[in-house]
Amino acid sequence: QKEVEQNSGPLSVPEGAIASLNCTYSDRGSQSFFWYRQYSGKSPELIMFIYSNGDKEDGRFTAQLNKASQYVSLLIRDSQPSDSATYLCAPGGYQKVTFGIGTKLQVIP
Amino acid sequence: GAGVSQSPSNKVTEKGKDVELRCDPISGHTALYWYRQSLGQGLEFLIYFQGNSAPDKSGLPSDRFSAERTGGSVSTLTIQRTQQEDSAVYLCASRHPGGKSYEQYFGPGTRLTVT
């Protein structure tokens, strides 16, 4: 089992809809998670991190962490075409960090 | 402040040549990571530095790959006798030493093409 699993997509949603991106992980010791956004041809940029069970909201983005079920998700409300990118999740860690393969999101105008 | 910088931004080399890729982390960031991203693929971990030491070299694909870091700052990734399968974007990231969060800040990458 891979450390971090993501559906590679593409996930297509209409503009204005909610996009739901999911990530499961195998290491029960993981305490925090990050969501990075990567536009085509660009480097990943951090958009959210979460280290507590439950939800964390930041503008149109909500990260959800469920340690018992070992999944973390990212919800994007009112999706915009500019949100079209690949979203990578990764456990926070002091040393080696394994990124998920990333989910490609396409927001259709 | 200044972010992570990498040089060169693009490198085209002939098969069999050696290449050096450079990363300048954010000032004060003690941790530094190298990743490789082939076209349409995810991030592949290569190596991690804490200060000048590399506790984890497990991701280096072969002994043609090596990396060093000096003065706790600049890092160089060297690929010897390059092969076509080495063609990828090589990304460097750095991380602040403290706090609850361990977010990494990425540089713009070096696109390596081996012909």
Give pLDDT, residue A2: 58
Smallest Cβ–Cβ distance between A97 and the set B45, B50, B109 belongs to: B45
pLDDT at A91 over 80: yes
Higher pLDDT, B58 or B33: B33
pLDDT at B101 over 80: no
> What number is the average pLDDT over the span A72-97?
90
Which residue does chain B place closest to A35, by CA atoms? Answer: B103
Give pLDDT, residue A96: 75
How many CB pairs below 8 Å do chains A and B form together? 54
Give pLDDT, residue B16: 97
Tell which residue, A33, A94, A48, A52, has the closest CA to residue B98: A94
Buried b (16+ CB within 10 A) or exposed e, A49-76: bbbeeeeeeeeebbbbbebeeebbbbbb
pLDDT at B71 over 90: no
Are A99 and B42 an interchain contact pair (Cβ–Cβ within 8 Å)?
A: yes
Give pLDDT, residue B99: 56
pLDDT at B92 over 70: yes
C-alpha B65/C-alpha A63 separation (Å) is 37
Which residue does chain A place closest to B47, by CA atoms? Answer: A96
Give pLDDT, residue A9: 87
Chain A residues interacting with chain B (CB cutoff of 8 angstroms): 32, 34, 42-46, 49, 51, 88, 92-102
User: pLDDT > 70: what percent of chain A?
Assistant: 95
Give pLDDT, residue A67: 87
C-alpha B91/C-alpha B107 separation (Å) is 6
- Identify all chain A residues contacting B29, using CB atoms and an 8 Å cutoff: none
- Identify all chain B residues contacting A44, using CB atoms and an 8 Å cutoff: 43, 91, 106
- Identify all chain A residues contacting B40, using CB atoms and an 8 Å cutoff: none
Give pLDDT, residue A51: 83
Are A97 and B102 an interchain contact pair (Cβ–Cβ within 8 Å)?
A: yes
> What number is the average pLDDT over the span B6-16?
97
Per DSSP, the three-state class of A50 is strand
pLDDT at A1 over 60: no
pLDDT at A7 over 90: no
> What number is the average pLDDT over the span A10-28?
93
Mutate to test the interface with A, among B43, B60, B106 (most CBs of A within 10 A): B43
First to last CA, chain A: 37
Tell me, what DSSP letter sits at residue A78? S
